[in-house]
Amino acid sequence: MRPSLELARSAGFCYGVRRAVHMAESASQSGRPCVMLGSIIHNQSVIEYLEAQGVALIRSPEEAPPGADVIIRSHGEGRTVYEALRLRGCPMIDATCPNVSRIHQIVSDAEVAGRQVVIIGMPDHPEVAAIAGWCRHPAVLANARELENWLLQEPERREKPVTMVSQTTSTRQLWDSCVEKAKKLCTNSKIFDTICNATCKRQSEAQEIAARCEAMIVIGGRESSNTKRLVELCEALCPQVVWIERAAELEPSTLCRKASIGITAGASTPEWIIKEVYDKMSDEIMEIEESFAELLEKSIKTLNTGEKVTGVVTGITPTEIYVDLGTKHAGYIPVSELTDDPTVKVEDLVHVGDEIETYVMRVNDQEGVVTLSKKRLDTVKSWDDIEQAKEEHTTVEGVVTEENKGGVVVSIKGVRVFVPASQTGLPRDAAMSELLKQKVRLRITEVNRARRRVVGSIRAVAAEERAAKAAEVWANIEEGKRYNGTVKSLTSYGAFVDIGGVDGMVHISELSWSRIKHPSEVVSVGDPVEVYVISFDPEKKKISLGMKDHSQDPWSVFTGKYNVGDTANVKVVKLMTFGAFAEIVPGVDGLIHISQIADHRIDKPGDVLSEGQMVDVKITDIDFDHKKVSLSIRALLEDAQRTQSSEDEGDAVVASADGDGTQVAEDFQD
């Protein structure tokens, strides 16, 4: 039985490594002297190949020949290296992986903000050393145990603001354990997950293959950190793991009795080495189901302007999105070419690891870069969708991007749609600017692709939706039913409320238990309100609504709180010729007759009282049958006078008693 062979799709160069190697190849063909500062990737075969192309290897900036271009390796370098090369006047070709450059920016910003930088990674790894070179006093820790020990050594460290990043090739398990420890022990931490998505994908796929295969072949340099981790992960799941750098190290006969063999490779392993290993295994023990040559051809295929291509998002920055197209070219999408919608955030549209279909705008073979556009591809598709929407009378959605003479412009997936002012649905005197940056639904009324002209109507959709809602309201309306509505307008006699496509009126008397002069004292246009149906007439399309809570009967509230003879602080709400009405509790008024306003004769209530005034009164009578209350200010004044008279008489009695007592004492002495 011939063993099956499974090659990991993620094996080999990642985006950052492929970019670095291509930049070095381009530099070697430029005609200018160039050197690489340290091995640009961890693969000796690639380094030897580049040296054969004339790219010499140096170990320090001081070794750089005057005037020679210096290639910064994919692992990056610290700030001092860049400064040293500038002082020597050496032009730099920065091949630092974009994911690593992002970490440099994070730790640099953290230092400026006064935060302590913590780097989770191998201290002697060049990538980690470079990251540490962008801040003054970083803590470089290998795992969660070291992180815990470092935090507990000096208690004040737990109180300091900490920014934590990871080596891009760390394992997810190691990083998650560090994150858990940091969240538990630090009081002020900012944690950035900087593990490369390609690394995670490669490790995850290697584990999946190792779990189902009897043997694994891991290809990669002995100095490669990510290859070493692949070996460790595979050894935990597979009984036999072989780590090789080149096909010459492989002895297929040791694997021929295995029923299934998996192959993976580190990020610094070029395709041609993987092909060597794959071909050797093929020649010795198996037939290849899919020619590796075909896979390799896909990776080196050429691209043309105007072509539609599919790739995987490998990195996101504030200005561009990096896309791995599976070719020697490094693809990127400028943020301006991602979408026309100004309200959308980049992180809401794309994520690292997403597969994305794009349009090739420009190919720069010299630099190995392809400029891509998601927006232009979407625009082509959008025109088809717009024409279909016009034919099928369907509703589309877009964002208002500008105010135009006579209307507004709506962007629908990159297509500009003009909406005349009369079709915006706004009142005649409203400003078109109210719609700017708003999402709207509209109907396409005219399409002329040749002239790139599209006309739409927001009003048509709004009218249809309102009509449908109105029909639903009338079909289900009944007395007492409650609705959540919105106040649409106010009049002197009430408020009109939209209960979902239909307006009903709340009479001023139904707005509040309190006596009010105008609805604006209770509600404003635009307020959300809860109302209930008092009555309705389907033929005349009229609905009478109420807002007052009838479960709280004001008369019951009043009688539960006051009795005849009680004193109350009331509000004068209306003056009449015969007296004044005063609100005792919301919804219950009492009458202060003109004869009960003062303890002397007055011509009219307005001589003593004014509307809105708060006064103390005595409740002199309650007519429970007719729910009427009589109030008196005069009674309170007379009560006060009687009380004062009683106190004065008491004082006089005491004074008289004191005089008599003195006289008796004098008589007794005589």
pTM of the predicted model, to two decimals? Answer: 0.44
pLDDT of residue 592: 95
Convert the pLDDT of each residue in 504-548 to its tens digit.
999 998 888 777 889 999 899 989 999 999 999 888 889 999 887
H, E, C per residue of 578-611 = CEEEEEEECCEEEEEEHHHCCCCCCCCHHHCCCC
Token pair for 142: 């290998």
Centroid of chain to Cα 382: 26
User: 293 pLDDT band (50/70/90 cuts)?
Assistant: very low
With respect to CATH, is domain 393-462 assigned 3.60.110.10? no
Mean pLDDT of 654-669: 42
What sign results for the dihedral spanned by CA atoms 483, 487, 488, 489? positive
User: 404 pLDDT band (50/70/90 cuts)?
Assistant: confident
pLDDT of residue 657: 47
Token pair for 439: 């999402």
- Does the structure show a pLDDT above 90 at 164? yes
d(CA 363, CA 328): 12
Strand order in the sheet with 241-244: 4-7, 260-265, 215-219, 241-244
User: 654 pLDDT band (50/70/90 cuts)?
Assistant: low
pLDDT of residue 60: 93
With respect to CATH, is domain 308-377 assigned 3.40.50.300? no
- Does the structure show a pLDDT above 80 at 294? no
- Does the structure show a pLDDT above 60 at 365? yes
15-98 has which CATH code?
3.40.50.11270
Token pair for 353: 């690891």
Which CATH architecture describes the domain 99-195? Answer: 3-Layer(aba) Sandwich (3.40)
Convert the pLDDT of each residue in 413-451 to its tens digit.
778 899 999 898 888 778 888 889 899 999 999 999 888
Residue 131 in 3-state DSSP? helix
- Does the structure show a pLDDT above 50 at 377? yes
CA angle 656, 657, 663 (to 5 degrees): 90
Mean of pLDDT over the chain: 86
pLDDT of residue 660: 46
With respect to CATH, is domain 560-637 assigned 2.60.120.10? no
Of 531, 463, 523, the closest CA to residue 495 belongs to: 523
Convert the pLDDT of each residue in 581-628 to its tens digit.
999 988 889 999 999 999 899 999 999 999 999 999 999 999 998 889
Q: What is the share, in percent, of the chain residues with pLDDT greater than 90?
A: 42
Give the bridge partners for 566, in sequence order. Answer: none
Token pair for 401: 């991007």
Higher per-residue pLDDT: 7 or 257: 7
- Does the structure show a pLDDT above 60 at 143? yes
Convert the pLDDT of each residue in 449-486 to its tens digit.
888 899 999 988 888 888 888 888 888 889 889 899 99
Convert the pLDDT of each residue in 17-58 to its tens digit.
888 998 998 888 888 899 999 999 888 888 888 998 899 999
- Does the structure show a pLDDT above 60 at 289? no
Active site residues: 127
User: 497 pLDDT band (50/70/90 cuts)?
Assistant: very high
- 371 and 330 in contact (C-beta within 8 Å)? no
User: 662 pLDDT band (50/70/90 cuts)?
Assistant: very low
d(CA 435, CA 461): 15
Identical fold between 393-462 and 560-637: yes
- Does the structure show a pLDDT above 90 at 131? yes
HSE of 395, CA atoms in CB hemisphere, 13 A: 12
d(CA 433, CA 488): 21
477-546 has which CATH code?
2.40.50.140
User: For the chain, which residues make up each domain, given as ranges?
Assistant: 15-98, 99-195, 308-377, 393-462, 477-546, 560-637
